[in-house]
Structure 1
Amino acid sequence: MKIEKNKIGLIILVLSMVHSINFWGQKSADQNHDKPNIIFILTDDQRFDALGYAGNELISTPEMDKLAKEGTYFKNAMVTTPICAASRASILTGLYERSHNYNFSTKKIRDVYMQNSYPKILKDNGYYTAFYGKYGVRYDGLKKQFNEFESYDRKDKYPDKRGYYYKTIGKDTVHLTRYTGQKAIDFIDSKNSSQPFCLSLSFSAPHAHDSAKDQYFWQDESDKLLKNTIIPPAKLSDDLYFKSQPDFVKSGFNRLRWRWRYDTPEKYQYSVKGYYRMISGIDREIKKIRKELKKKGLDKNTVIILMGDNGYFLGERQMAGKWLLYDNSLRVPLIVFDPRVKNQEDSKEMALNIDIAPTILDLAGIQIPQNWHGKSLMPVATKEQTSLKRDTVLFEHLWEFEHISPSEGVRTKEWKYFRYVNNMSFEELYHIKNDPQETKNLAKDPEFKSVLEKLRTKCNALINEKSDTYFNGPTALKVNITEAPQSIPEFQWQVPTKNFEQTSYQILLASSKKKLDQNIGDLWNSGQVIQKVAKAYKDGRIYLKDGQTYFWKVRVWDQENRFSKYSECQTIQLNGSK
C-alpha cells in the first residue's frame, strides 16, 4: 500500500493529538511529565521570627534555614486573618475572610468556594493530590479535593500529652509531628514520575495544647535544646503596653492565655522553650522529607513552600495567642524553594496567605481564577520581577466572639491602620517604617489626621471590594412608631435574597450618625437575637423626643451563622417622617 507523504504527516498529527488528550478531557501523563511536584507545608502558630534565618539565635531550624537560603524568603509575609480557621480557608480558596465568610462561629464553608480551591483545581487538571494533618476548615468534601488524605489534629479530650501522642506508627505511639512526617515520607516513597503530585502537609505544632496545664509537648529529641539557656524577657512586656489596650482587649482571651503561659518567670521560660522545641521537631521532619525526595530522584523537580498559618504573641504587651492586628499576630515565615531556579533571592514584598493558591496554580501551569484575591509569588521567586505591585493590603479578624473583639485595618509599606469593628472609635495608627514595634499610636495626633483619614477611606474601599454578594446587608428598612403611651419603634427590613435564610439579627440605634458609623448603638444594641422574622420591637420602651432625629441599622445571620454587612443607615423622627 502506498501512502503519500502529506497523508503520513496528517496521520502522525492525529495520532499525536489522540495521545495527548484522553477521553476525560484531562492532560495526559506526557503533558504532565515536566510539571513540578509541589509540597506545601503549613505550620500552626509559627510567627515570623521563630526561624533561625530570620535572625533568631535561640531556635534551632537548620533545614528551614537551608530552604530559606536556597529559595525565596519573604521577609514581610503576613496573613490576612490572624487565626487558623479563617486563614486556612483563605489559603485554600485564595479569598479574604470578607468573601468566604468562614470562621469558628460559622458552620460549614460554602461549597461554591471549595469547588474553586487549589487542590480541587489541581486534581481536575491531572495532579495527584494528597493531604495529611490539620485541615482546620469544616468541609465534608475532601474526597473532591484529594486523591488521598487523612485529616487529624490534637485531641482536646486528652488534657495532657496524650493530646499530641495518640497516633501510632506500627506499634509505637508517636508525636503528631513525627506521624505527619512519616505520612509524607510514605507518600513520596509510593510515587513514580508518571504523574505530578501536590502534597499538602499541615503540622499541628507548635500550637499549644490549650486543655493541658503544661500547654506545650515536644519530642524527646528536643529536650537538649535550650536546656541551659535563659530566654530574654518579651519585648514591650512593661505594664504600660498592656494598660494602653481597650478594656475589651484587656479582659479578653489574649490576657487569659497570657496567664496560662507567661505570667510567671517559670511559665515564660517553659512555654517559650517548648514553643521553639516543637518547631525544631517540624524542622527534623522536613529534613527527612527532603532526604526521601532525593532518594526517589524527585528533589530536582519538587517545589517546597513553607508558611505559618498565623503569627503569635510570646508575651509581648503581656499577651498570648494571636487574633489582634499587631505584627506579632500577622507576620509569618514564608519560603518558596524551587530547585529549578538558580540563585533565588530574599524579597521584601508583602506576600500574603491568599497568595499560596495562585502560586501553586502558577507552578502547575494552570490559569488562576479571576475572582481570587491573591497573586502568584512565582514572578518574584523566579526574579522575573521584583515587585508584586501591591501598595495596600487589608487585614481582618471577623469572628464574633465575646472574648476576642473583631478588628479590621490596612497596611502599606510605611503605615498601618486598624480599628475594632464593634466600636470603631478605637483606632490605631502606626508609622511602622520608623516604629516597627508599634509603640506610638498616632491616631489622635492632629499632625497625622490626613494619613488617618486616607487609610480609613482605603480600608472602607477594600472592604467593599473584597466582599461578595453573599455578604450584602438587609434592604427596604422601615420603622413604624406606636404611641401607647410612649413612642415604641417597630423595625422592619428585607433580608439579602441570595440563598439567605435569616436566623437572627442585630439592631443598632444611635443618637448620632457618627456613633452609628462607628457601630456604637448608644440607645440600643440588641446584640445577636435569635429570630427568623425580619422585624423587631425594642424590648422595653425607648423614650424618643418629638422632632429629634435618630439613626439605626441592622445586620442578619443566615442558616450557617454567617453574618451579613450592616444595612445602610436609616433615620427616625417621632413626628412620623422617616
Structure 2
Amino acid sequence: MVRQIFSLRLRQILLCKTSLKLSIVLLLFQGVCFKGNAQEANVADQPNIIFILTDDQRWSALGYAGNDLVHTPTMDDLATHGLYFKNAMVTTPICAASRATILTGVYERTHRYDFQTSGIREEFMQSSYPRELNKAGYYTGFYGKFGVLYDGMEELFDEVESYDRNGRYKDYRGYYYKTLDGDTVHLTRYTGQKALDFIDQAPKDKPFCLSLSFSAPHAHDGAPKQYFWQKESDHLLADVTIPDPELRGDTYFDRLPKAVREGFNRTRWYWRYDTPDKYQHSVKGYYRMIAGVDREISSIREKLKETGQDQNTVIIVMGDNGYFQGERQLAGKWLMYDNSVRVPLIIYDPRNPRHRDIDQMAMNIDVPSTILDFAGAPMPKEWQGKSLVPFLTADAYDMERDTALIEHLWDFEHIPPSEGLRTEHWKYMRYINDKSIEELYNTTEDPGETNNLASAPGQFIRLQEFRNWMNQKDSEYKDPYVGHPSGLKVDLGFLPGTKKLERFFSWVVPKGAGTQKSYQILVSDSEQNLKLNIGELWNSGEVTSTEHSGIIYEGDALESGTTYYWKVRIWDDLHRLSRYSNIHSFQ
C-alpha cells in the first residue's frame, strides 16, 4: 500500500511546475509514510490474547488462593507472575447470563439474556468483543461451551466449534464423546488440543485472540456420579479426607428464604453432598477436573514457547461463576452469597511481568474491555465495564468502583431471582419477587455472611441507602430496547353472554418487545407491597399469551369503593423479561 502511494505521489511530483508545489507534495508524501509506519507499529505491538473461562470454578478453587486440596501449579504460576484479583466477581452467577455479559460488555439487566431466552438481541452482539477484535485486525478462535443462543456465532470468529457436556448420556459419556485421532477423549483434553492446533495454524501476519471455554469442573447433571475426570488425576487426593464444609449446620440452612430451601440449590445438594460418600466423591472430582484444566493450560504455554510466541501472548484465566460446596447445605450457584459470585481472575502479560495482588473489585464485565485495551482497540460506548490493563502499567491505579452490582434475574420457579450490591465492607441483597426479604452483611467483620443485619438496630439508614442505590442501578442499566408496558387500564363489564360483572385489565405492549409472548400481573391493596413486588391479592404468575387487553381478574375478592394497585410485566418475542410497568390504581 505504501509503495502504491509512493508511486502516485512521484507522478504528481513530476507534473508539478513550481518548487512550492513540489514542497507541498513532499510534505504530503512524508505524512502518508509516517502514518503508514505508525499503523504497522501498532499492529506489531498488538499481543496475542488467550482468554480461558472455566465452568463453576469458585474463587477458592486455586492453589494460589491458599487451597491445599486443589492442584493448579500452572494457574498458580500465572498468578505469581501476573495480576491476581483477590475479590473478583461475576455480575451474574450463572453460566448463560455471565457469558452473555462477557460477550457483550453489559449487565444482565441490560441484555436480559437467560436460559429461557430464545436468542440474544443482535443489537448487543454487533459490538461483541470478537467483532471488535476483527475490526482491530485480530484472527479469532473459539472452542468449548459458548453458552449463548446466537444464530451468527460462526460469523463471530475465524475458527469456532461450540460444544458442551452431552446431555443424552447420563454417565461418563457426557464428558467422553469427542474424539482425537480416532480415540475418545475427555472434553478437557479435546479443548486443550484444539487450542494447540489453533496456535500452530493461526496466520503469522496478524495477532490472534483465542477464547477457550472449558466445561470442567461443572458436574454432569443427571448422572449418578456427577463428576468425571481424566485418569491422570486419579492419584490426586486419593489418600485425603476432605474436611466438612463450613456452615454445614441446620441453623444456616433454616435461615434461608423458603424459596431457596425448596429450590434447585437444595435439590442439587441431594445429588452431590447429602451423604459423606457423595461429598467426598464430588469435592474430589471437582478438584481433579480443575487439575485437568491446569494440565491443558500448561501444554498451551509449552506450545507458545515452542512457537516463539510465549513472550507476546497475554493469558487471562477466569471462572464463569462461583459454586457452593455444601455450605449452608446447598449446591450450585445462582445466589448472591460470596460462594456463588466470587471467582478466580488472573491476567498474565509476559511483556510487563508485574506481579500484584489486587484488592479492588474486578468483574467479568471488565474482561471484554480489558481484551480490547490489550488489542489497542477502542471500547464501544455502550459497554459498562472497565479495562484492567492499567493495573499493569500504573503504580497506583484506582478503578473508582466503590459499589459492585450483582444480580440473577432469571425468573424461574426453582431459583428465586435476586440482586445485590457489594462495597469494600458491606453486602446488600434482596429477592426480586419479594423485596421485603433482605440481607445485609458487614463482610469485613463477617466474611462468612452469617449475621444478617437487615433488621438490626442502627442499620436503617444504611439499609435505606442500599435500597436507593439498588433502584438507581436498575434505572442506570435498564434494557434500552424493550422498556415496560404502559397505558394501563381496568374496565368493569359483563362477561359475554352473562350478567356477571368482571374487571378487565389492559395495557400497551412496548414497541421494542415485538410480540408479547407472556405476561404477569400483580394486584395489591397496598402501594408499598406492590413496590416490593408483592401481589398478595393476585399474582398471575407467568401466563403464556399474546393477549394484552380484556384480561379477566382472577384474584381474591375485591370490595366496592376500595382503592387497589396493580402493575404488569411481559416477556417479549425472544422471551426476554421486561421491567414492570408503573403502578396504577383502580377502584
TM-score normalised by length of structure 1? 0.95
Q: Which residue of 2 aligns with 1:139?
A: 150
Alpha-carbon deviation of 1:544? 2.1
Q: Does 1:557 pair with 2:571?
A: yes
Whether the 8 Å contact between 1:486 and 1:541 is mirrored in structure 2 is no
Q: Which residue of 2 aligns with 1:312?
A: 323
Alpha-carbon deviation of 1:384? 4.8
- Residue 498 of structure 1 aligns to a residue whose secondary structure is helix
Distance of 1:543 and 1:348 partners within structure 2: 55
> Which ranges of structure 1 fall in alignment gaps of 5 or more residues?
22-26, 574-578
Distance of 2:24 and 2:529 partners within structure 1: 79
Distance of 2:42 and 2:480 partners within structure 1: 38
Whether the 8 Å contact between 2:88 and 2:342 is mirrored in structure 1 is yes
Q: Which residue of 2 aligns with 1:498?
A: 512
Q: Does 1:453 pair with 2:464?
A: yes
Q: Which residue of 1 aligns with 2:233?
A: 222
Q: Which residue of 2 aligns with 1:511?
A: 525
Deviations 1:84-127 (A, max 9, x none): 00000001111000001100011110011111100111012210
Whether the 8 Å contact between 1:487 and 1:544 is mirrored in structure 2 is no
Select which of 281, 285, 288 maps to 1:274. Answer: 285
Whether the 8 Å contact between 1:99 and 1:471 is mirrored in structure 2 is no
Alpha-carbon deviation of 1:500? 2.5
Alpha-carbon deviation of 1:343? 2.5
Alpha-carbon deviation of 1:6? 4.3
Q: Which residue of 2 aligns with 1:13?
A: 30
Distance of 2:88 and 2:36 partners within structure 1: 43
Alpha-carbon deviation of 1:194? 1.7
Select which of 373, 380, 385 maps to 1:362. Answer: 373
Alpha-carbon deviation of 1:75? 0.2
- Which residue type is aligned with residue 564 of structure 2? Y
Q: Which residue of 1 aligns with 2:3?
A: none
Whether the 8 Å contact between 1:313 and 1:329 is mirrored in structure 2 is yes
Return closer, same or farther for 1:287/1:256 CA change in 2, 3 Å cut-off.
same
Deviations 1:249-301 (A, max 9, x none): 11100000000000001100000000000000000000110011011111111
* 1:297-376 matched pairs, under 5 angstroms: 297-376=308-387
- Residue 523 of structure 2 aligns to a residue whose secondary structure is strand
Whether the 8 Å contact between 1:105 and 1:400 is mirrored in structure 2 is no
Distance of 2:379 and 2:414 partners within structure 1: 38
Whether the 8 Å contact between 1:37 and 1:303 is mirrored in structure 2 is yes
Distance of 2:567 and 2:450 partners within structure 1: 35
Alpha-carbon deviation of 1:546? 2.5
Alpha-carbon deviation of 1:174? 0.6
Deviations 1:24-80 (A, max 9, x none): xxx6x6641221110000000000000000000111100000000100000000000
TM-score normalised by length of structure 2? 0.93
Whether the 8 Å contact between 1:325 and 1:407 is mirrored in structure 2 is yes
Q: Which residue of 2 aligns with 1:24?
A: none
Return closer, same or farther for 1:538/1:10 CA change in 2, 3 Å cut-off.
same
Alpha-carbon deviation of 1:528? 1.1
* 1:10-89 matched pairs, under 5 angstroms: 10=27, 12-13=29-30, 16=33, 31-89=42-100
- Which residue type is aligned with residue 153 of structure 1? D
Select which of 478, 483, 487 maps to 1:476. Answer: 487
Identity of aligned residues (%): 56
Alpha-carbon deviation of 1:537? 3.3
- Which residue type is aligned with residue 244 of structure 1? R
Distance of 1:358 and 1:384 partners within structure 2: 20
Select which of 528, 534, 539 maps to 1:525. Answer: 539
Q: Does 1:489 pair with 2:500?
A: no
Q: What value does the CA root-mean-square deviation take over the aligned residues?
A: 1.9
Alpha-carbon deviation of 1:489? 1.7
Return closer, same or farther for 1:506/1:540 CA change in 2, 3 Å cut-off.
closer
- Residue 489 of structure 1 aligns to a residue whose secondary structure is strand
- Which residue type is aligned with residue 554 of structure 1? V
- Residue 405 of structure 2 aligns to a residue whose secondary structure is strand
Alpha-carbon deviation of 1:83? 0.1
Whether the 8 Å contact between 1:344 and 1:382 is mirrored in structure 2 is no
Distance of 2:534 and 2:269 partners within structure 1: 29
Return closer, same or farther for 1:571/1:173 CA change in 2, 3 Å cut-off.
same
Q: Does 1:94 pair with 2:105?
A: yes
Whether the 8 Å contact between 1:488 and 1:537 is mirrored in structure 2 is no
Q: Does 1:396 pair with 2:407?
A: yes
- Which residue type is aligned with residue 417 of structure 1? Y
Distance of 2:479 and 2:411 partners within structure 1: 19
Q: Which residue of 2 aligns with 1:180?
A: 191
Distance of 1:487 and 1:455 partners within structure 2: 44
Q: Which residue of 1 aligns with 2:476?
A: 465
Q: Does 1:440 pair with 2:451?
A: yes
- Residue 357 of structure 2 aligns to a residue whose secondary structure is coil
Return closer, same or farther for 1:541/1:450 CA change in 2, 3 Å cut-off.
closer
Q: Does 1:162 pair with 2:176?
A: no
Select which of 160, 165, 171 maps to 1:149. Answer: 160
Q: Which residue of 1 aligns with 2:214?
A: 203
Alpha-carbon deviation of 1:543? 2.9
Distance of 1:499 and 1:434 partners within structure 2: 45
- Residue 419 of structure 1 aligns to a residue whose secondary structure is strand
Q: Does 1:569 pair with 2:583?
A: yes
Distance of 1:410 and 1:216 partners within structure 2: 33
Alpha-carbon deviation of 1:383? 2.9
Return closer, same or farther for 1:15/1:444 CA change in 2, 3 Å cut-off.
closer
Q: Which residue of 2 aligns with 1:545?
A: 559
Alpha-carbon deviation of 1:514? 1.4
Distance of 2:229 and 2:550 partners within structure 1: 53
Whether the 8 Å contact between 2:506 and 2:551 is mirrored in structure 1 is no
Q: Which residue of 2 aligns with 1:576?
A: none
Distance of 2:74 and 2:129 partners within structure 1: 26
Return closer, same or farther for 1:152/1:506 CA change in 2, 3 Å cut-off.
same
- Which residue type is aligned with residue 242 of structure 1? F
**Equivalent pairs, count:** 567
Q: Does 1:263 pair with 2:256?
A: no
Deviations 1:468-524 (A, max 9, x none): 322411111111123787763211111112252212211100010111111111110
Whether the 8 Å contact between 2:74 and 2:297 is mirrored in structure 1 is yes
- Which residue type is aligned with residue 74 of structure 2? E
Distance of 1:494 and 1:91 partners within structure 2: 33
Distance of 2:221 and 2:142 partners within structure 1: 25
- Residue 281 of structure 2 aligns to a residue whose secondary structure is helix
Q: Does 1:118 pair with 2:129?
A: yes
Whether the 8 Å contact between 2:51 and 2:316 is mirrored in structure 1 is yes
Distance of 1:503 and 1:343 partners within structure 2: 52
- Which residue type is aligned with residue 307 of structure 2? K
Return closer, same or farther for 1:170/1:474 CA change in 2, 3 Å cut-off.
same
Deviations 1:284-337 (A, max 9, x none): 000110011011111111100000000000000000000011000000000011
Whether the 8 Å contact between 1:99 and 1:466 is mirrored in structure 2 is yes
- Residue 514 of structure 1 aligns to a residue whose secondary structure is helix
